[in-house]
Amino acid sequence: MPFGVGVNIGAVTVAGASFVAATLPAARAVLRLGVLVFVVGAFAAWAANAAMAASVCVIAFLLLNSFLVNTRGELSWHGAADGWRLGALALASGIGWWVGWVRRSFAARNRFADLEALANGEPLPAALPHSGFTNSRVAVAALWRQAWHRRDPRR
């Protein structure tokens, strides 16, 4: 996904989360922050791109500071409290990015597991529950195997 598209998706998502967090009472500032922390972490895990995650983290902090802390759209620094808020968002962004990276690494590693089983002569699974795309690869591999055996009867 292009960087600009991903950051725009993240910005819209964080803006929506800011609207949701704004419905919570101002006395529940930690809960408001928690909503944004969750959304930033979830976006970072989905995007699995460190630059996108960092950009959306900054956007989330600006929205948090201007509309949820100050409530009038004014940006100002509140000392250590803003440092902790920014740190919480950055930590969620970093953990989310790491989770997304691990998820994509395992998906890339297992991408050709069914074709590897086919090459080793192992039986193909009837259906894999997690993805229709993998099921279609298994079907194509099964058709290829049938055509190969029809071509050479010794196999």
How far apart CA 4 and CA 123 sit, in angstroms, is: 44
Q: Express each pLDDT in 35-44 by its tens digit.
A: 999 999 999 9
Percentage of residues in the chain having pLDDT higher than 70: 73
Q: What is the pLDDT of residue 59?
A: 96
How far apart CA 98 and CA 96 sit, in angstroms, is: 5
Q: Express each pLDDT in 35-70 by its tens digit.
A: 999 999 999 999 999 999 999 999 999 999 998 888
DSSP 69: I
- Mean pLDDT score of the chain, rounded to an integer? 83
pLDDT band at 16 (very low <50, low <70, confident <90, very high): very high
